[in-house]
Amino acid sequence: MGAVSGVCTTYNTMSKGKNYEKVTAKMEAGKMYTPEEAFAFIKENKLAKFDEAVEVHMHLGINAKKSDEMIRMTLVLPEGTGRTQRVAVITASKEKEAEEAKADLIGGEELIADIKNGKVIPGQAFDVLLATPEMMPKLALVAKILGQKGMMPSPKTETVTVKIKETVEMLKKGKKVSFKNDDTANIHQMIGKSSFTVEALLANYTVLKETLDRSKPENMKGKLIKSISICSTMGPSLPIKF
């Protein structure tokens, strides 16, 4: 399974208990699971008392050091992720829309100043930052701060937009997600929770996989997706047939 084999990334540094070993023992050696089988396995073998996240991990055939092979995209998961995101909006023209959509933070230059002065900390006060186009030149003051957190608004991730109400609503419902490959050419994306039905998880997985299939860089040779695994927050990863 290459770089994405093994246990789920959020659990691989933790000690494995008896329950984990029991679940692992149920896995068929050498089997490549269909997505439906993997989701059913996760739901039948929950390890945590909380509602675990269900994650897809993909190892890509790209050269992660080449900027023209980087995978970076935004997509809408039909069933959402099940996780609520805190959304901040920097605008001088769409305050009413942001309020109607119940954005968590709304402001203009004063919000930029608060970020610069450390009064508002990205990642603590909000999870996603949206900006309307007229505010982008002013965001240069905090570009380094936002960039370090991966939160600088960009047209590529549709976080620079005039469709504030629609975008805030989708983000707060966990439907709109943005991701990019890491330095080891892997993609890690939450697609739901263990309480979701198999059908809902499959719908989200299908959109993710099909969107990625259409995003192969023009200069890249060979297959884009080399391996896929699916896991829950606390469970083992299941190798996927695709």
- Mark whether 179 and 156 lie in a shared domain: no
- Examine the pLDDT at 2 and tell me if it is beyond 70: no
pLDDT of residue 157: 87
pLDDT at 148: 93
Give the mean pLDDT of 162-168: 97
Burial class (CB in 10 A: 0-12, 13-18, 19+), 6: middle
Give the tokens for residue 15.
């000690």
Taking the model in full, what pTM does it have? 0.81
Spatial contact of 42 and 173, defined as CB atoms under 8 Å apart: no
**Tally of domains within the chain:** 2
CATH number assigned to the domain comprising residue 126: 3.40.50.790
Report the greatest alpha carbon distance in the chain.
58
Last residue of a domain, one of 137, 152, 172: 172
Q: Which of 150, 172, 194 represents a domain boundary (last residue)?
A: 172
Residues 163 and 179 in one domain: no
- 65 and 21 in one domain? yes
The sign of the CA dihedral 116, 122, 125, 129 is: positive
Mind listing the pLDDT tens digit for each residue in 105-127?
999 999 999 999 999 999 999 99
Lowest-confidence region among 3-7, 44-48, 88-92, 108-112: 3-7
Does one domain contain both 181 and 166?
Answer: no
Whether 111 and 228 map to the same domain: the answer is no
As beta bridge partners, residue 236 has 7
CATH at residue 25: 3.30.190.20
Residues 180 and 198 in one domain: yes
Query: Which residues are CB-contacts of 132 (< 8 A; sequence separation ≥ 6)?
Result: 89, 90, 91, 92, 93, 94, 160, 161, 162, 164
Domain that holds residue 12: 2-80+175-239
- Same-domain status, 106 and 163: yes
pLDDT at 3 over 70: no
- Shared domain for 97 and 65, answered yes or no, is no
pLDDT at 156: 85
Strands (DSSP E) contained in 80-224 are: 87-90, 105-107, 128-131, 176-180, 186-193
Q: Angle of helix 198-213 relative to helix 35-44, nearest 10 degrees?
A: 140
Query: Are 125 and 145 members of one domain?
Result: yes
Closest CA to 78 of 170, 172, 159: 170
**What is the predicted pLDDT for the residue at 162?**
97
The percent of residues in the chain predicted with pLDDT above 70, rounded, is 93
Q: Are residues 64 and 8 in the same domain?
A: yes
Residue 7 pLDDT level (bands cut at 50, 70, 90): very low
pLDDT in tens, 33-60: 999 999 999 999 999 999 999 999 999 9
Under the banding of pLDDT at 50, 70 and 90, the label for residue 79 is very high
Last-in-domain residue among 144, 172, 200:
172
% of the chain residues with pLDDT over 90: 86
Asked whether the predicted pLDDT for residue 12 surpasses 90, the reply is no
**Stronger pLDDT, 5 or 240, i.e. the higher one:** 240
The predicted pLDDT at position 112 comes to: 98
Query: H or E stretch including 76?
Result: strand 72-76
Note the pLDDT of residue 8: 55
What are the tens digits of pLDDT across the range 14-28?
Answer: 456 889 999 999 999
Residues 119 and 233 in one domain: no
Residue 186 has pLDDT above 90, yes or no: yes
Q: Indicate whether 19 and 66 sit together in one domain.
A: yes
